[in-house]
Chains A and B, each alone.
Chain A
Amino acid sequence: MTLEAFAASKPLTLGVELELGIVNTHDYDLSPSAVDLLRLMNKRKIPGDVKPEMTDSMIELSTGVCHSHADALSQLTEIRGALVDCARKLNVGLCGGGTHPFQDWSERRIFNTPRFHMLSELYGYLSKQFTIFGQHVHVGCPSADDALVLLHGMSRFIPHFIAMSASSPYVQGTDTGFHSARLNSVFAFPLSGRAPFVTTWDDFGTFFAKMTRTGVVKSMKDFYWDIRPKPEFGTIEVRVLDTPLTIEKAAALAAYIQCVASWLSKQKPFELAEDDYLVYTFNRFQACRFGPDGTFVDPKTGEHRTLREDILFTMGEIEQHAIDLNADTAMRYLRSELQRFGNDATWARQTQAQEHLLAEVVRQQCLRWSGELVV
């Protein structure tokens, strides 16, 4: 199979995908209700789309092409409204969060499509453990080569995205100590991690051809990289974020990525180098484990600082881009989030410390998702 052509797209346009958990309203465990929810959603007119995911307690919503933070937020609000409405009709709850805090993965059922069954055959129990929920952000790129350059530039900020979006401290009823335990599940997949350091589409085509010849890879879908090019959309897709607990946070994070992309592509503040990846896994781990308090090692200077410091520093650098892109409200929102809770993982831990019942934490997650609880 050859690599498909890179479609044209407007630079710095956005697309947001969110994977969500469907829970019952009795004990707030995951509920196998995706089919019912999708059936009701079929009758609704929404921007973007709602699709099934790997197991039948998950769904994925996606916006259409968005031009700004406000656009993304309004599309998300509209889709959320329809989804929450349908969920109420079925008496189920919808929640964000990178993991469900106490679901038992062995109870999950694979959603009935040929692709999901094929993946389940291939990956065994990993596919059921893949009941995790992420946010994917697409950024439009003017050309395929620009996309690869942006992809590698963006890699430096992967720990930022992880630390800010982290919302998965609990797995199978236990506090893992991680802010984002979700990414540990992704790491189990053979083709996860970083993309190879190639910066032209021709070189990428060569790499892709080699991979397909081994028979390990059939399409771009088989790569579970942290950021991957998406040729049919003409975008790069950032895939490391946990699904946040609110759509406001999801839209703000997308805007942050958009501003960083604008800064990187217009000002080219860093020279790309393969050696930048020497600290990649370390920084990524620190972000997953400690959130904003994790250590960030500057790939260029080797200097150590906290992720929080590096994020605030970047926010200063991209300020003008945020103003140009009408994303300054989003940046203010993220700054205040960083000061208040740090991220949703910390909120979840605080709520659990108060309630001593993970089911109650999930119930409040549902309220936050529907907009009924603003903290």
Chain B
Amino acid sequence: MVDELNQALSFLGAAFSWAGPDALVGTSLVLIAGALIGEVVFRRLGLPRIVGYSLVGMFVGAAGYGVASGDISGTVRLVVDLALALLLFELGARVQLRWLRTNPFLLVTSLAEAILTFVVVYLVMRYLGLDMSSSAAVAVLAVPASPAVIARVASEFGAEGQVTERVTMMAALNTLYGVFASRLLQAWLDLDTGQNPVQAIVHPLYVFVGSFFIAGLLGIAVARVARRLDLRNENSVLLLLGLVTLALALTKAFGLSTLMMPLMAGLWLRNSTERPWVWPRHFGTAGGVLVLMLFVIVGTSWSFSALATGGMIALAAMAARAAAKSAAVLTLGWFSGQSLRQSIGVSLALTPLSATALVMYSDLQGSHAGFAAQLSPIALSSIAVMELLGALAVLAALRSAHEIAARRV
């Protein structure tokens, strides 16, 4: 009986290397600690619950049970993929591409912000002595702002307004650019190491088109369900959850992008019809558990040794990234109708870097293990450094823009 229970809950327990009946104990402790500390942090300090989850993760990481090697595989990867899929799908479903047509300066700002981030981080990394491909890899990882942190903090605090909307849009776009760029980077590494050049070009194309195809299927399926059922009903949400996980399974089976697929599915759903789709945030309790585990896992990605080797470079990379993003948003924001205060808010809210970067790094590790290993201290330290700061920056941005719901201020 205990074994069966363990098996059923192994997707949670496997986040940590405890085996046997201890897995259940460990997972339960993490859940309890995460929920408790998350609540304390939220009520006493008025900070997002994910700060509490991350703190628990950092503690678990310090105890040596984390993913500090950057190797997230098996069930841990499954939890990360599932949680991210839900968050990215939700994020995509909030982004209206028509807005880019009516306000083209948003697209200009977004492209400028992503390109400038890449260039500045690349140059700083080169200046600090990294080789070309490593600098490019760090720069690519720095492009996306974490949709997970942004989506979670915004919904937890009921944030609404221009900063929230614009950051949502920017995060969705720069995640797409980032994932695409990381595929190009892998192709470049393949070419560099003398692999078949056709494959190096065909593969990213396959990933892009394939992910888009499955995203479309998921979008159509959800739209069909939503036309007949009320998505605010708990049972319909379960159906929705099932569809997202099935699509994710297909994505993994075909070796496609687990980041791109859910994001594009959400985008497809929002932009293929004007009808509003409304479902409970994070798909109710099941999604809530996954989100908690996601932030705990990301929180465990640090280690003292990695910080000692790559900490300073990581700090430099993150500082360069923040400067680049702010510079683009502050200069171009005005043209898209942003006030100065809002531009500051948007640039601040674009700083988090977390699960998306971790998954991108992990994919890189899957295809180019040796190369990724060199990067590991910098990449993982960056993720660790930004884990807490990111959530706090988003909250500060939303607070200063007065976008937090009246009863949650």
- List residues of chain A with CB under 8 Å of any chain B CB: 24-28, 31-33, 36, 39-40, 86, 88-91, 106-109, 356-357, 359-360, 363
Contacts and interface: CB of A to CB of B under 8 A. Distances in A.
B405 to A, nearest CB: 5
B69 interface: no
B276 A40 contact: no
Interface in B193-232: 230
A27 B103 contact: no
Contacts of B162: 33, 36, 90
B321 interface: no
B158 interface: yes
Contact of A88 (B103, B276, B339, B407): B103
A109 B158 CA distance: 13
Interface residues of B, number: 24
B156 interface: no
B406 A109 contact: yes
Contacts of A40: 337
A24 B96 CA distance: 11
Contacts of A89: 102-103, 336-337
B339 A363 contact: no
B190 interface: no
A357 B227 CA distance: 10
Contact of A24 (B102, B160, B230, B339): B160
B161 A33 contact: yes
A28 B276 contact: yes
B96 A25 contact: yes
A311 to B, nearest CB: 35
A40 B276 CA distance: 26
Interface of B: 94, 96, 99, 102-103, 158, 160-162, 165, 230, 274-276, 278, 336-337, 339, 342, 402-403, 405-407
Nearest to A355: B275
Contact of A357 (B161, B276, B402): B276
Given A32-B161, A36-B161, A88-B103, 7 more contacts: A31-B160, A31-B161, A88-B102, A89-B103, A90-B165, A90-B337, A359-B276
Contacts of A25: 96
Looking at B158, B274, B336, the one whose CB has the most chain A CB atoms below 10 A away is B274
Contacts of A107: 158, 405-407
A91 B276 contact: no
B407 A106 contact: yes
Most buried by A among B102, B276, B403: B276
Given A31-B160, A89-B337, A90-B162, A360 B275 contact: yes
A363 B276 contact: yes
B123 to A, nearest CB: 34
A363 B160 contact: no
Contacts of B278: 27, 357, 359
Contacts of A36: 161-162, 337, 339, 342
A248 B31 CA distance: 58
Nearest to A57: B160
A92 to B, nearest CB: 8
Contacts, number: 62
A32 B158 contact: no
A375 to B, nearest CB: 16
Contacts of B336: 89
A12 to B, nearest CB: 40
B276 A360 contact: yes
Nearest to A112: B402
B275 A363 contact: yes
Contact of B339 (A39, A357, A359, A360): A39
A91 B96 contact: yes
The list of the 3 closest CB pairs from A to B, nearest first, reads A359-B276, A91-B99, A88-B102
Contacts of A31: 160-161
Contact of A108 (B102, B103, B230, B406): B406
Contacts of B337: 36, 39-40, 86, 89-90
A26 B406 contact: no
Contacts of A24: 160, 165
Contacts of A91: 96, 99, 102-103, 165
Contacts of A90: 162, 165, 337
B84 to A, nearest CB: 21
A39 to B, nearest CB: 6
B407 A32 contact: no
Contacts of A39: 337, 339
A231 B35 CA distance: 61
Contact of A26 (B161, B276, B339, B405): B276
17 contacts: A26-B96, A27-B278, A32-B402, A32-B403, A33-B161, A36-B337, A39-B337, A39-B339, A88-B103, A89-B336, A90-B337, A91-B103, A107-B405, A108-B406, A357-B278, A359-B278, A363-B276
Q: Which of A26, A39, A88, A356 has the most CB of B within 10 A?
A: A26
Contacts of A363: 274-276
B283 to A, nearest CB: 15
Contact of B160 (A28, A32, A86, A356): A32
Contacts of B402: 32, 109
A88 B99 CA distance: 7
Nearest to B161: A32
Nearest to B159: A32
A36 B405 CA distance: 17
A50 to B, nearest CB: 16
A40 B165 CA distance: 17
A356 B229 CA distance: 10
Nearest to B162: A36
A156 to B, nearest CB: 41
A70 B405 CA distance: 42
A360 to B, nearest CB: 6
A198 B102 CA distance: 54
Contacts of B96: 25-26, 91
Contacts of B407: 106-107
A360 B274 CA distance: 9
Contacts of B102: 88-89, 91
